[in-house]
Amino acid sequence: MPQRNFMRRRHIFLLLLVVGLESLFLTLAHWQWQRYQQRLSEVAAFQQQTPITLSGTFLNAQTKALDNQPNPTNPEKIGWRILTPFQTASQTIIIERGWATPQPLTNFTISQTQITGIWQPFPQRKGWLKGPDITINPNQLAFLNPSLIISTTTGTHYLAATTTTHPNLQAQPQPPFNPQRHLSYCLQWLALALTLPILLLTTYFRRKK
């Protein structure tokens, strides 16, 4: 009798564990699916933006490079995103001027007084594990922190250039969102939710035989 009670409790525990894991996997899959749909909407809004043109003066001495950035047309190629403050009549705005291969920042000096681009929100750090904002070189940023470029920057957005400002730059704004990543996570959680009962049923019938 004690042995039978022990086996019954064991089976109940295993059943509750499986139900709990299935609920967890399906909840996570649903959450990632919602994030995927949200990112698709954000990318669509990004692509529908109308470029604007601003007049002012580029502050070349404050030019910084955002390191470890993929080429917009060849993601396997890693380089920089060049960031230069732009002084208008009313405020200082950070301009993300485009992608470039690593080279001296003086190679991106600009004298033009107009820039055309689309607004982008500054990225936000999330979670407990936050990496550094700068690399070992103070002119190369690991994260787009506007205060490390120029302290007088105003606003919550920067301008991503849609027109070329220098021959060394590829002016193609990069969407700040990656919907496919969330879809991949969703499929992974669904695969786990499907694999668990199949594995348990296979084990049960093998033992029964």
Amino acid at 114: Q
pLDDT value of residue 121: 86
- Separation between Cα atoms, residue 25 and residue 106, nearest integer Å: 51
Q: What is the 3-state secondary structure (H, E, C) of 77-122?
A: CEEEEEEEEEECCCCEEEEEEEEECCCCHHHHCCCCCEEEEEEEEC
pLDDT value of residue 69: 92
pLDDT value of residue 57: 95
pLDDT value of residue 98: 94
pLDDT value of residue 153: 67
pLDDT in tens, the chain (209 residues): 565 665 667 667 777 777 888 888 899 999 999 989 988 888 787 778 889 999 999 999 999 999 999 988 888 899 999 999 999 998 999 999 999 999 999 999 999 899 999 998 888 776 566 677 878 888 999 999 898 898 876 678 899 999 899 999 999 887 667 788 889 999 999 998 888 878 777 776 677 66
Nearest CA to 114 out of 182, 51, 173 is that of: 51
Retrieve residue 83's tokens: 């960031």
pLDDT value of residue 156: 86
